Homo-oligomer: A and B are copies of this chain.
């Protein structure tokens, strides 16, 4: 059973620092990205996604890092996303994810940053078919 779009969760790691980047937590790339995504996803017409900041996704060498998940759908983790340019790309990818029943967006339909930046994917915990 696919989840409703409202249950899609976008975790954004707010902790990673870029080499030479500022110490201030509010100025770290993931924190900037998280605020920008929260603002963008509150706009009318945006895919219905909950944004949740997280202290660490254990992908520390490839900031910014996000995880997209929903009950009954595959989870995807992406890295190498730029705080200042990735918002539109991420929202495009979320819209495509929301349009699927299982989270599997065909490779060629994924934003390029998602194709290049994929860190891992995990099947949903409970599926109606095979693993």
Contact = CB atoms under 8 A, between A and B. Distances in A.
Among A9, A53, A123: residue with most chain B CB under 10 A: A123
Interface residues of A, number: 26
B57 A131 contact: no
A122 interface: yes
Q: How many copies does the complex hold?
A: 2
Nearest to A62: B120
Contacts of A122: 11, 57, 67, 69, 75, 77, 122
Interface string A54-82: 10111100000101011100011100000
Interface of A: 7, 9, 11, 52-54, 56-59, 65, 67, 69-71, 75-77, 118-123, 125, 131
